């Protein structure tokens, strides 16, 4: 069976999962275990002033706050 073959799992973990490849995953992952990869940030803001203005040194982490519009009558 393919699901018992470790080489099958290794191959499947090296292919794309969603939008990016996951080559760092263990060969046979266990259910309900956390596998947290090291984050890589190859790009940074050119100046510290811009990083302080944005609140982060890494453009990938920049997410400006956009408040939701309030509805009439206190409804959500």
Q: How much of the chain is in helix, strand and coil states, percent to nearest 5?
A: 35, 5, 60
What residues does each domain of the chain span? 1-33, 37-67
Between 17 and 75, residue with greater pLDDT: 75
pLDDT digits (tens, 9 = 90+) for 14-60: 444 455 556 667 667 778 888 777 677 788 999 999 999 999 998 98
For 5-30, give one letter per residue: b (16+ CB within 10 A) or e: eeeebeeebeeeeeeeeeeebeeeee
């Amino acid at each position: 069976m393919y699901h018992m073959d470790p080489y099958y799992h290794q191959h499947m973990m090296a292919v794309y999962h969603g939008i990016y490849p996951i080559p760092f995953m263990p060969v046979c992952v266990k259910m309900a275990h956390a596998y947290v990869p090291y984050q890589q940030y190859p790009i940074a803001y050119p100046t510290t002033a811009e990083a302080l203005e944005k609140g982060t040194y890494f453009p990938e982490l920049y997410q400006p706050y956009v408040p939701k519009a309030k509805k009439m009558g206190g409804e959500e």
